[in-house]
């Protein structure tokens, strides 16, 4: 059985804050804004807290608020990892879970998801596909 595509996102990095530089790497926060299109459609705001290591790989956790065009709210959190794929480009992947009080979207509360995508740190463009794990 294959995983089901839940949605795709198109986001833009709105801001980056550097918190600390150490031999481990750079601790930073990215704030993103964008759109969700798929089993539900929404405007998204997202914060990604991460460690960008000297070798270009990264580890991160994410916090998400999606607001559907019907006025429903979906919260998500997750974690993942990234690896460089070119100058200023990163492949990202990880897992996420959802929380919502919406009766229409209550099915999300039991979904375990995985995601994969790309980020271009030069342009600020982020594209991600999210799948429910079967």
User: Rounded to 5 degrees, what angle do the CA atoms 88, 60, 7 make?
Assistant: 85
Q: Which helix H or strand E contains 105, and what residues bound it?
A: none
d(CA 49, CA 30): 7
**What average pLDDT score do residues 6-22 get?**
98
Architecture field, domain 4-132: Beta Barrel (2.40)
- Say what the pTM is: 0.94
Name the token pair of 24: 């481990």
pLDDT at 85: 97
pLDDT at 134: 81
pLDDT at 63: 98
**What average pLDDT score do residues 109-134 get?**
96
d(CA 15, CA 40): 26
CA 16 to chain centre: 15
pLDDT at 2: 74
């Amino acid at each position: 059985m294959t995983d089901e595509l839940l949605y795709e996102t198109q986001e833009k990095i709105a801001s980056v804050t550097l918190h600390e530089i150490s031999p481990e790497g750079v601790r930073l926060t990215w704030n993103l804004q964008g759109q969700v299109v798929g089993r539900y459609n929404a405007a998204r705001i997202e914060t990604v807290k991460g460690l960008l290591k000297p070798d270009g790989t990264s580890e991160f956790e994410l916090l998400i608020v999606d607001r559907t065009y019907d006025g429903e709210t979906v919260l998500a959190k997750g974690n993942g990892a990234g690896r460089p794929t070119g100058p200023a480009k990163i492949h990202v992947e990880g897992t996420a879970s959802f929380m919502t009080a919406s009766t229409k979207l209550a099915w999300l509360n039991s979904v375990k998801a995985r995601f994969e995508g790309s980020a271009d740190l030069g342009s600020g463009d982020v594209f991600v596909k999210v799948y429910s794990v079967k």
